[in-house]
Amino acid sequence: MGARTIRRYAKGGLTAANCTVSVWEGFQATVDNIVEFNRHLTEHADLIRPVQTTKDIFTAKEEGKTGLSSAFKMSMPSKTRLVM
């Protein structure tokens, strides 16, 4: 995600998006991705805001911003194999 993508979110009227901060990356690369994600939230606060709940998403929409959440896709960042 970069500034260009964030501007496209705003132009397209996107209400919310879930951003993957880790798929196969190891621990340090994942931390770096999270730091970058948080930096974007700060640098582009006029266009995006963090969201965790549906209420946050509605607030983002009322503010004319895109709400962003972050998530992992795999357990690689924890360096642990999760067995269920």
Q: What is the pLDDT of residue 72?
A: 82
46-61 per-position pLDDT tens digit: 999 999 999 999 999 9
Q: What is the pLDDT of residue 46?
A: 94
| Angstrom distance (rounded) from CA 45 to CA 28 | 26
SS3 of residue 5 by DSSP: helix
Global pTM value? 0.81
What are the domain boundaries of the chain? 3-77
**Contacts with 24 (C-beta within 8 Å, 6 or more apart), sequence order:** 74, 76
pLDDT at 84 over 80: no
